[in-house]
Amino acid sequence: MKRKIVKWHLYAGLLFFPCFIIFGVSSLHFNHHFGFMKKSDDTRSFQKQIVLPHYVDNKQFSEEVRDSLQLMGTISPWGMANDSGGFRFVVVHPGCEYGITAHFDNNTVTIRENRKGFWPVFNALHAFNGKLPGNNSLLVSGWSYYQSFSALVMLFSIISGIYIFLKRKNERTAGLYILFSAVSISFFIMLSVWL
Amino acid sequence: MKINTYSLVRKVHLYAAFCMLGFLFMYFATGFILLHEEWFPDVKSQTTVEQHAVTIPASMDAKMISVFLQKQFNINALRYNPVSNDDGSITFNYEKPGRFYTIKLLPDRMHVEMNDSDFTSTRTITGFHTLHGYGGSRPFLIYMFWMDLASIATLLFGLSGLYLWYRLMRNKLWGILILMLSAGYTIAVIVILMKG
């Protein structure tokens, strides 16, 4: 029984290994804002000719333009404007930010693309639910399931880890002291910020 | 003295897990709620607004005023950087799980407008997860330090666990397949988001 649980404990850990690394590194970054993990300033602009959709309202129009351009991302409620320069809006997702201007007079759109680079994407996966409107891929939308499944696997790892530890008689007493002391300290710290 | 690497790594894996178990459990329970917020009750808040007269010493800059106001109103919370507004007022934000305080120092520097928002239980629970950055009263400094330790422990679990699997399992085929699947999937998502 113990051997089987050790085996499943190790396999569960391997399945969860990338999440461990992502959670550990990104949590440190959220507390310290490391300079080398800042988003890149790599920006380029280009134009595309498309058939602009019929304008009904800002939301409908910006969504249809985004879909015509086969982009994925959320339309930011900020940076939306409709004036003589054209209709402007911003599409964002963890890896990129698109500033889009639709020109009604010649059916063209100008796209200013800012790719954020590796670290912003890596850190965004910490809290990414995979739900991106537009031209999203199955792999990306599946991230939410992977993360939820990983959380359950983590729970299994904790319980099975404690079981494996309790089966070892030689360091059980010292380990239990450390376990209960550390858990008590953690809850005391949480209580002290809550109250 | 010869060091038994396997035994050392196993102890690191075990005791790092034990030391941080309370926080890790909180991380994963609250993280699950954050990922599926739609399954839980709406985030609603009750906000009270009060005006107070204050005496701010002229020599104080915005950061010092932030500390001063936190002590003055006895706010046990994480302190954020002050924000200067166009009208000459300064906004100070403080947060703790389930509670958000906004203090606006009016341009006359003699009055403040204080908003105290009290959130529902779901937001209180997830508040433990979303607090980040050093600043604020002493319990929050300890909390952030403990969070840093939990983050390092998370990395140590992963890396030491990988080593233990490598040493313990004679037949590594299934382990390699699982690792390739999880790492491959993560890399694919990162690449799609970087290029997409």
Contact B193 A124 (CB under 8 A): yes
Residue B58: Cβ-neighbour burial (10 angstroms; 0-12, 13-18, 19+): exposed
Output the pLDDT for position B1.
Answer: 59
- Choose from A17, A153, A159 for mutation: most chain B CBs within 10 A: A17
Residue of A nearest to B34 (CA): A127
The secondary structure element, H or E, covering residue B136 is: none
* pTM metric for this prediction: 0.83
A27: three-class secondary structure by DSSP: helix
* Count of residues in chain A: 195
Distance from CA of A107 to the nearest CA of B (A): 24
Same domain, A177 and A151: yes
β-strands B99-105, A74-75: how paired? unpaired
- For residue A28, which amino acid is it? L
Q: What is the pLDDT of residues B70-128, one digit of tens each?
A: 989 988 888 988 999 999 899 999 988 888 899 999 998 899 999 988 887 777 888 88
Residue of A nearest to B171 (CA): A7
Task: Retrieve residue A53's tokens.
Answer: 């959709």
Q: Please indicate, yes or no, if residue A126 is contained in any of the structural domains.
A: no
Contact B146 A186 (CB under 8 A): yes
Where in the sequence is the domain holding A19, given as residue range(s)?
Answer: 2-35+144-194
Q: Which domain-ending residue is among A116, A134, A162?
A: A116
Same domain, A100 and A49: yes
What is the rounded (10 degree) CA torsion for B177, B180, B183, B187? -140
Whether the CB-CB separation of A192 and A40 falls below 8 Å is answered with no
Contact partners, residue B47, CB within 8 Å, separation at least 6: B115, B116, B117, B118
Whether the CB-CB separation of B97 and B104 falls below 8 Å is answered with no
Whether the CB-CB separation of B103 and B91 falls below 8 Å is answered with yes
The CA distance from B75 to B67, in Å, is 10
Same domain, A15 and A57: no
Sign of CA dihedral B172, B178, B184, B186: negative
Q: Please indicate, yes or no, if residue A132 is contained in any of the structural domains.
A: no
Average pLDDT for chain A: 88
Distance from CA of B47 to the nearest CA of A (A): 18
Average pLDDT for chain B: 86
Q: Of A21, A28, A30, which has the smallest distance from its Cβ to B158's Cβ? A: A21
Task: Retrieve residue B150's tokens.
Answer: 């939990």
Same domain, A28 and A45: no
Q: Which domain-ending residue is among A97, A116, A135?
A: A116
Please list every residue in chain A whose beta carbon sits closer than 8 Å to the beta carbon of residue B168. 6, 10
pLDDT at A120 over 90: yes
Checking ipTM against 0.90, whether it exceeds it is no
Q: Of B34, B36, B139, which has the smallest distance from its Cβ to A193's Cβ? A: B139
Q: What is the pLDDT of residues A133-151, one digit of tens each?
A: 887 788 999 998 888 888 7
- CA nearest neighbour of B131 among B120, B121, B142: B142
Distance from CA of A56 to the nearest CA of B (A): 28
Output the pLDDT for position B162.
Answer: 92
B96: three-class secondary structure by DSSP: strand
Question: Is residue B47 very low, low, confident or very high in pLDDT (cuts 50, 70, 90)?
Answer: confident
**Helix residue ranges, H only, chain A:** 2-32, 58-68, 118-124, 138-141, 143-166, 172-194
Same domain, A190 and A149: yes
What is the rounded (10 degree) CA torsion for B8, B11, B17, B18? -150
Please list every residue in chain B whose beta carbon sits closer than 8 Å to the beta carbon of residue A148. 32, 35-36
User: What is the arithmetic mean of pLDDT over A155-161?
Assistant: 84
Q: What is the pLDDT of residues B119-157, one digit of tens each?
A: 877 778 888 888 888 887 788 888 889 889 888 988 998
Q: Does A158 touch chain B (CB under 8 A)?
A: yes
Q: Does A6 touch chain B (CB under 8 A)?
A: yes
What's the domain count of chain A?
2
Distance from CA of B173 to the nearest CA of A (A): 11
The CA distance from B53 to B55, in Å, is 7
Contact B165 A18 (CB under 8 A): no
Contact A158 B144 (CB under 8 A): no
User: What is the arithmetic mean of pLDDT over A149-163?
Assistant: 83
- For residue A9, which amino acid is it? H
Q: Please indicate, yes or no, if residue A131 is contained in any of the structural domains.
A: no
Q: Please indicate, yes or no, if residue A121 is contained in any of the structural domains.
A: no
Q: What is the pLDDT of residues A23-82, one digit of tens each?
A: 899 999 999 999 999 988 889 999 998 888 888 888 899 999 999 999 999 998 887 888
The CA distance from A195 to A183, in Å, is 18
Q: Of A11, A148, A183, which has the smallest distance from its Cβ to B178's Cβ? A: A11
The CA distance from B162 to B151, in Å, is 17
The CA distance from A110 to A140, in Å, is 26
The CA distance from B78 to B95, in Å, is 5
Contact B133 A96 (CB under 8 A): no
Contact A190 B128 (CB under 8 A): yes
A82: three-class secondary structure by DSSP: strand
Q: Does A159 touch chain B (CB under 8 A)?
A: no
Question: Is residue B66 very low, low, confident or very high in pLDDT (cuts 50, 70, 90)?
Answer: very high
Same domain, A149 and A184: yes
Sign of CA dihedral A176, A180, A186, A189: negative
Whether the CB-CB separation of A37 and A120 falls below 8 Å is answered with yes
User: What is the arithmetic mean of pLDDT over A162-177?
Assistant: 83
Domain ranges of chain B: 5-38+144-195, 45-119
Q: How far is CA B126 from the centre of its chain?
A: 10
Q: Does A188 touch chain B (CB under 8 A)?
A: no
Same domain, A86 and A30: no
Q: Does A16 touch chain B (CB under 8 A)?
A: yes
